[in-house]
Amino acid sequence: MSGFRSLGDDEVVEFQCKSSDKGLEATVVTGPSGTECRGSHRRPMSKKRFRKIRCYNCGEFANHLAAKCSMGPQPKRCHYCKSEDHLIADCPQRPEK
């Protein structure tokens, strides 16, 4: 089980460790004689979810920030209707809450 975070109850392991700024860390963890570790079944490993964030440059919800935006610097504009005449707080097309 590669990438496990916790060992199973009473699981026997062999490990190598190294010293780091966090103290001693186990770097290679295996079962006896190099077999794979079972790992804990209490919490299944979740896949990392990428949260969509709004780029303040292009206004799109994407996985990039303004500093990494492929569109280059853009003029300030409303992120709702894309008009350069006003910003989103003053957008006449935006539905009221």
Look up the pTM and report it. 0.34
51's tokens: 């949260």
Averaged pLDDT for residues 72-77 = 86
Cα distance between residue 15 and residue 26, in whole Å: 6
pLDDT-derived band at 87 (thresholds 50, 70, 90) equals very high
In this predicted structure, the answer to whether residue 19 has a pLDDT above a threshold of 60 is: yes
The answer to whether 13 and 7 are in contact (CB under 8 A) is: yes
28 backbone dihedrals φ, ψ, rounded to 5°: -125, 115
Predicted local confidence at residue 92, as pLDDT: 95
What are the structural domains of the chain?
1-41 (2.40.50.140), 50-97 (4.10.60.10)
Averaged pLDDT for residues 53-72 = 84
